[in-house]
């Protein structure tokens, strides 16, 4: 191998490693949750509220949500069987405790392995992150619900939930 080729190869490897580390760092923080990329899930789960990133709940929670769509927090959010299967597959594969999401276990701290909470807004970590949010912020007219993340996190649709 000539030196030139060797340095190109080394450079490429370093670059790739850097990219992996960068995406790890992002996935491991509490600020970035990759947005839903599956168009069907975006469409079917984004009509009444934002399509919540799959990394905000563990797989067992998504399974429960998907199993009870005909009575979804009092609403009928049911879809046909083939659609449900595709959404379920997507959500399970990208859930907080899925294999590709190593860094996100922290988000599930305090959730018992036996529990399958359907609400993101009842996870201990979510409650802790919002403990200091003023009461007057929750009652603002555009907020309407705790589940309306976008009202406060303007970049939530792109996956960013930093303090703002």
Partner 1 sequence: MQRPLIVMFLAALAAMPAANAAPRDDILAGYAAQAKADDAAFGGFSATRGEALYRDRHGGGKPDTSSCTSCHGDKTRAAGRTPVGKAIDPVAVSVAPTRYTEPAKVEKWFRRNCREVLGRECTAREKGDWLAFMMTQ
Structure tokens at 113: 């392995």
30 binds, among ligand HEC, partner 1, none (CB under 5 to 8 A by kind): ligand HEC
**CA distances for 71 relative to 66, 74, 75, 79, angstroms:** 10, 5, 6, 12
142 binds, among ligand HEC, partner 1, none (CB under 5 to 8 A by kind): partner 1
DSSP state of 111: -
* Least spacing, CB of residue 66 vs partner 1, in Å: 16
| Contact flag: residue 110 with ligand HEC (CB under 6 A) | no
Query: Residue with structure tokens 């839903």?
Result: 36
Cα separation, 108 vs 57, in Å, equals 8
Alpha helical stretches, state H, the chain: 3-28, 39-44, 59-67, 81-93, 124-129, 135-138
| Contact flag: residue 39 with partner 1 (CB under 8 A) | no
Task: Single out the segment in contact with ligand HEC by CB under 6 A; choices: 7-15, 20-28, 98-106, 125-133.
Answer: 125-133
Pick out residues in 77-106 that bind partner 1 (CB under 8 A): 77, 79
Q: Which is nearer to partner 1, 29 or 78 (CB)?
A: 78
**Could you tell me which residues come within 8 angstroms of residue 49 by beta carbon, excluding any fewer than 6 positions away?**
145, 147, 148
Q: Which is nearer to partner 1, 39 or 113 (CB)?
A: 39
Footprint on this chain of ligand HEC (rule: CB under 6 A):
30-31, 44-45, 47-49, 52, 56, 65, 69, 72-73, 75, 77, 87, 118-121, 129-130, 132-133, 137-138, 143, 145-149, 151-153, 161-163
């Amino acid at each position: 191998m000539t030196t030139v080729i060797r340095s190109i190869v080394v450079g490429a490897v370093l670059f790739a490693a850097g990219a992996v580390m960068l995406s790890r760092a992002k996935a491991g923080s509490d600020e970035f949750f990759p947005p839903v990329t599956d168009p069907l899930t975006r469409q079917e789960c984004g009509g009444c509220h934002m399509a919540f990133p799959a990394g905000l709940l563990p797989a067992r929670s998504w399974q429960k949500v998907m199993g009870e769509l005909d009575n979804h927090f009092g609403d009928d959010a049911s879809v046909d069987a083939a659609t449900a299967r595709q959404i379920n597959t997507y959500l399970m594969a990208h859930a907080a405790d899925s294999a590709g999401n190593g860094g996100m276990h922290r988000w599930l701290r305090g959730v018992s392995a036996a529990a399958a909470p359907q609400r993101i807004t009842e996870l201990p970590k979510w409650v802790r992150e919002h403990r200091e949010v003023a009461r007057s912020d929750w009652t603002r007219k555009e907020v309407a619900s705790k589940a309306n993340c976008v009202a406060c996190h303007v970049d939530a649709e792109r996956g960013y939930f930093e303090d703002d």
